[in-house]
Structure 1
Amino acid sequence: MADAPPTPRSGAPGAAPLAHRVPDLGSLELLLAVARLGSLGRAARESGISQPAASGRIRAMERLLGVALVDRSPRGSRLTDAGTLVTDWARRVVEAAEAFDAGAQALRGRRDSRLRVAASMTIAEYLLPRWLIALRRERPGTAVSLHAGNSVAVAERLLGHEADLGFVEGLATPDGLDSAVVGHDRLLVVAAPGHPWARRRAPLDPAELAATPLILREPGSGTRQVLDAGLAAYGGLAEPLLELASTTALKAAAVSGAGPCVLSELAVGEELAAHRLVEVPVAGVRLRRDLRAVWPAGARPTGPARDLLSLTRGAPAPADRPG
């Protein structure tokens, strides 16, 4: 036995789509106002349109449905028998639409009540706190969670839908993500005042920096990426003296005299001002990087993520895409 043909979703076979056969919500709401107020003019004013526009909408509905809906007279407007029946149906459609809208608002509210941020260590420690304080002033009801890790981990969380917005410090935008530059940073070679490099008169040669065991961040961090790229032409980095996973740990090790390290300029201002660390100039190598906000490719940030992005860039927030 042959399979029965599928029933068209829009009704009878060959029928036009439902949207072309049913009046729009605005027209149905206008008809309900006419039924309630007994006057096309008052219904027009309540709907915020002119009386001629309201008459045009009613006539368009009558043409669409093929029946007269409203009897007009100098004493006012009253529904025809068909109009009364259509009004009952319209009321159910409008109530369903109101329920749909309430549900959509609840979804938006749930989305806007939380923000999951993933950020590489330097941005998480030295820039995000003031951005999040500013966001809290604008969105006091939004609960923010922050995961701090290296740039690779940030990308993984975004691609795994475990974060709404991320911040990285590497040389380029990670694969699968879109980005916007939100700042710039410079990496500094620093050492304790007692280290021989702290007393140098001439800048450090890149080859000597590359050949010296340093206190470094782990592979996958933005700092390590920039350093690896900058020193690749000089034989690459020597085996690390220590490999640590946080900026705070790197600073503590360097201040203790364990050895020189490379850190963000954002992270060492206090230590340099207090002479707990000394900057060691390096000639002939560029140790600069862009700081980027990142998000999954093609999925522009919305809600609180959009607002946080705007705060980091000091520009008006882009409008949410409809849908």
Structure 2
Amino acid sequence: MPAHVPDLTALTLLVAVARTTSLAEAARELDLSVQAASARIRSVERRLGAPVLQRGRQGRRSSRLTARGALLVEWAGPVLDAARDLDAAVTALRPPQPDADPVVLAVAPTVAEHLLPGWLVHLRAGPGGEVALLGGDATLDDPAGDPAGAVRDGAAAVGVVETGTALAGLHATTVATDDLVLVVSPGHPWAGGPGVDAAELAATPQITRRPGGGARGALADALAEAVPGVAPAAPVCELATDAAVRAAVRADAGPAVLPRLAVAADLATGALTEVAVHGLQTRREFRAVWPEGTSLRGTARDLLRIATGGRLR
């Protein structure tokens, strides 16, 4: 961890103090003693090098935030939100308990990595229910599974696929759309330029996911349509996750094409720069599928209502 980042419990405690205006009340919410809560606050102040709660006349710590403390609470929000997303996603990765009857999902990699955690957080905060991801024991070298096939075979109750075409034997509804984005480091020669065409992109070695992972297949299909008969250049390197690809691009190891969902934060902060690609269709549609002639019920229906923003047809 970075040297000056407080632990998640300390950040959660400080946010609770800001909301309740009481260190004692915040400690009760987190099932901590006041002494333990005070120790957590001291640890935050040691990392910050300054108080986060104001002191009274006798030097006693109050429950009023200092200006630094208030800023830390604001900046901690996205970190704690991400931790809640991760906690919900990790729960879906855990093997089901023997007496559990979870809804089994089969989803495309981009959906699992960038959309599913948020859906699971909303499910947990609302109706609840157990969800398990199909294929969690596969190795990273295995090709991506077929969510539609898993639903047809009965291995999964619901799938989320990356396609806009008809799916035989399945009901389908759109849950999200996204496009692929060419990104480079701010110091790359393409940064700030007029962009590239599909042929130049195909001829340029890129940082990619391993075969079957992330957006690699979608990019290959788009390039094959835009520049038929042209074989893409061999990749600079093949990595296991979008996070690893983003880190390599930030280190100026080369360009990469990733889902906008994966790079939105880096683009907003300027850590990565988007490059226009002319003549390439990169829009993608993600659709939830379930067996034709059936109706989703219980947790499966609740999850799909969340994924579709409250609608389900």
For the aligned pair, the TM-score class normalised by the smaller chain equals 0.5 to 0.7
Out of 203, 218, 227, the position equivalent to 1:226 is 218
**1:264 aligned onto 2:263:** no
- Flag structure 1 segments of 5+ consecutive residues without an equivalent: 1-109, 319-323
Q: Secondary structure at the match of 1:267?
A: helix
- 1:144 maps to 131
Gap change, CA 1:117 and 1:242, over 3 Å in 2: same
Whole-angstrom CA distance in 2 between matches of 1:133 and 1:315: 15
Q: Secondary structure at the match of 2:277?
A: coil
Q: Which amino acid aligns with 2:243?
A: T
Following superposition of structure 1 onto structure 2, how do residues 33-52 of structure 1 map, counting pairs within 5 Å? none
Tell me the CA shift for residue 164 of structure 1: 2.0
Tell me the CA shift for residue 137 of structure 1: 3.1
Out of 139, 151, 164, the position equivalent to 2:157 is 164
For the aligned residue pairs, the C-alpha RMSD in angstroms reads 2.9
- 2:286 maps to 291
* Contact 2:214-2:242 within 8 A present in 1 as well: no
- 1:91 maps to none
Following superposition of structure 1 onto structure 2, how do residues 25-174 of structure 1 map, counting pairs within 5 Å? 113-140=101-128, 142-147=129-134, 152-170=145-163, 172=165
- Flag structure 2 segments of 5+ consecutive residues without an equivalent: 1-97, 137-142
Whole-angstrom CA distance in 2 between matches of 1:236 and 1:214: 13
Out of 187, 209, 212, the position equivalent to 1:217 is 209
TM-score (norm 1): 0.56
Gap change, CA 1:300 and 1:228, over 3 Å in 2: farther
Whole-angstrom CA distance in 2 between matches of 1:139 and 1:178: 23
Q: Which amino acid aligns with 2:199?
A: A
* Contact 1:170-1:226 within 8 A present in 2 as well: no
Following superposition of structure 1 onto structure 2, how do residues 302-313 of structure 1 map, counting pairs within 5 Å? 302-313=297-308
Following superposition of structure 1 onto structure 2, how do residues 168-187 of structure 1 map, counting pairs within 5 Å? 168-170=161-163, 172=165, 177-187=170-180
- 1:204 maps to 196
Instruction: Point out the structure with max Rg over C-alpha.
Output: 1
- 2:232 maps to 237
Tell me the CA shift for residue 258 of structure 1: 1.6
- 1:255 maps to 250
Gap change, CA 1:230 and 1:236, over 3 Å in 2: farther
Tell me the CA shift for residue 147 of structure 1: 4.5
Whole-angstrom CA distance in 2 between matches of 1:169 and 1:129: 17
Whole-angstrom CA distance in 2 between matches of 1:313 and 1:121: 18
Whole-angstrom CA distance in 2 between matches of 1:299 and 1:293: 14
Tell me the CA shift for residue 179 of structure 1: 2.3
Whole-angstrom CA distance in 2 between matches of 1:296 and 1:111: 25
Whole-angstrom CA distance in 1 between matches of 2:178 and 2:293: 27
Whole-angstrom CA distance in 2 between matches of 1:272 and 1:238: 25
Q: Which amino acid aligns with 1:169?
A: E
Q: Secondary structure at the match of 1:268?
A: helix
Gap change, CA 1:187 and 1:316, over 3 Å in 2: closer
- 1:190 maps to 183
* Contact 1:191-1:255 within 8 A present in 2 as well: yes
Q: Secondary structure at the match of 1:225?
A: helix
- 2:277 maps to 282
Whole-angstrom CA distance in 2 between matches of 1:293 and 1:202: 37
